Amino acid sequence: MAVTERSGKAARGLKGGRPALGEAGLRDAGGRRRAPVLWAGLWAVAGLGAALGGYAFLYEPFDVRTERLAVRPLRDKAGVPGEGLNILHLSDTHFRGADRRERTKIEQVRRATAGEEIDLLVHTGDFLHNDSGLDNVLALIDSIPKPRLGAYAVTGNHDHVFYSMRRAPLYTWRLFRAREAENGASNGARSATEATEYSSAGLRDLFRFGRYLVSNRIDAEPTGVNDICRLRRALAERGMQFLDNRAVRLGETGVYLVGIEDLMEGEPDLQGSLAGVPQDAPTVLLSHNPDIIEAAAAARADLILAGHTHGGQIVLPLIGPTYTQTEQLSRGEASGYSRRGKTQVYVHRGLGEGVPVRFGAPPHVTFIRLLPARRDSAVGAGCDGNRG
């Protein structure tokens, strides 16, 4: 807004009606000038914002922690060795070829795993953000001690597809409208123009959409495909097998490891994966997306290892994890250990990020000690470990 100078009576009248800013407008009741206090407050807020932003972008994404916990099956199943199995769980590396950032994380993982005796290495998907991150994925696997019983993985949605966040709000809106139509909550899909404009929706639609967003869902738009076959071949050369919709018995133990394809971009077949697994065998299920717990067959698993949520990636006071991308877990279950009946679930926060910031959800590697069930398994089994 333009400001013009006034002279004569007009200026004197304006000055007489409102105190001049420099003379009285920034003085408090005691006559002290308030301008320095206001400016100091503004600078403090700006400085705090810059500090938090710098922490979230430059520090926490590289603060790779180590978590350890021990888990016993909640059912009286034989087959876990008496000394247990030491499982190294990784997930959501999201490498994209950003060498400085990714090589720093690789070095942190190398230090965290050096000298560890690892029976089983598992990765629960989203190795890549896009194909240019493959070399760093391989460098990560090379940095880890060779596991005694092998290395296994499942693919995540990003291993299949890369996404754009620029059109995420409109894309999420279109998915929401399609879901509403499928569930009979609306009268059917609207025109393409209407479906991409908020102005075309009624207040009731917008209210439901707001609840949809608050319940941890925002979807980026798929814009291309990654070379999933190239990823599989390269990791197979490093001794890592993909368990997409199949199961294996771990060496001479009685433990079975089952994996399924990604729920979003793959063709998961949990029933088929479990077909050859004995009912009384201790079973560990790998799924990128923890929403697999919705499937009735998932109750057969003694332990589910998953990722995908990034722990919310940004955890806010009072609110907790922000967008966890899960419909079946509460915000409090967005990472770490939880239970569904006799099935135990561990959700990994991941090593990488979709958007390169973290706040209150540091990356980590997890050592899980799978121990035999106690004879009084209904009472005494479960999570015995601690986190560090």
For the cut 60, the answer to whether the pLDDT of residue 380 exceeds it is no
Residue 333, both tokens: 């279950």
Q: Where are the domains of the chain?
A: 20-62, 66-164+224-380, 168-214
Helix, strand, or coil (residue 337): strand
φ and ψ of 95, to 5 deg: -70, 140
CA distances from 301 to 46, 250, 284, 285 (A): 50, 15, 6, 6
319: left (phi over 0), alpha (psi -120 to 50) or beta: alpha
Most confident by average pLDDT, 199-208, 253-262, 326-335: 253-262
* Single-letter code of the amino acid located at 331: R
Question: pLDDT category, 188, cuts 50, 70, 90?
Answer: very low
- pLDDT of 196 reads 45
At residue 211, the pLDDT reads 66
Q: Using the predicted structure, report yes or no on whether residue 252 has a pLDDT greater than 60.
A: yes
pLDDT for the residue 20: 45
Q: 161 pairs with which residues across the strands?
A: 225
- pLDDT tens per residue across span 106-164: 999 999 999 999 999 999 999 999 999 999 999 999 999 999 999 999 999 999 998 87
Read off the pLDDT of residues 266-291 as tens digits, 9 standing for 90 and up.
Answer: 999 999 999 999 999 999 999 999 99
Average model confidence (pLDDT) across the chain: 83
Query: b vs e for 119-157, b when ≥16 Cβ sit within 10 Å of the residue's Cβ?
Result: bbbbbbbbbbbbbebbebbbbbbebbeebebbbbbbbbb
Could you tell me the pTM of the whole model? 0.80
Query: Which amino acid is present at 233?
Result: R
Which CATH topology does 66-164+224-380 take? Purple Acid Phosphatase; chain A, domain 2 (3.60.21)
Percent of the chain with pLDDT over 70: 77
Q: What angle do CA 373, 378, 380 make, to 5 degrees?
A: 65
